[in-house]
Amino acid sequence: MDIRIGIANSPRELSFETSQSAADIEKIVSAALDSDTKFIKLSDDKGKVYIVPTASFSYLEVGSESSRRVGFVA
């Protein structure tokens, strides 16, 4: 699952891949925003942890769960 997180006042975005489902990511982010916590914490496939302050959280883009094709299309 490809994840892209936009951060306010930053020209770059966080982009990483995770094994969590789209529903899990949506649940984590919406729970953090609803409960007024200060940080959103997500992790990727390699074990890196991303902590984003909710005050500067702009958007979340969740990619598709299907795998990418490799090679030539006939």
DSSP code, position 53? E
36 falls in which pLDDT band (50, 70, 90)?
confident
73 falls in which pLDDT band (50, 70, 90)?
low
Going from N- to C-terminal start, the domains of the chain cover 2-62
Cβ(62)–Cβ(14) below 8 Å: no
Please report, for residues 11, 12, 35, the alpha-carbon distance to residue 4 in angstroms, rounded to integers and kept in the order given. 13, 10, 22
This prediction's pTM? 0.74
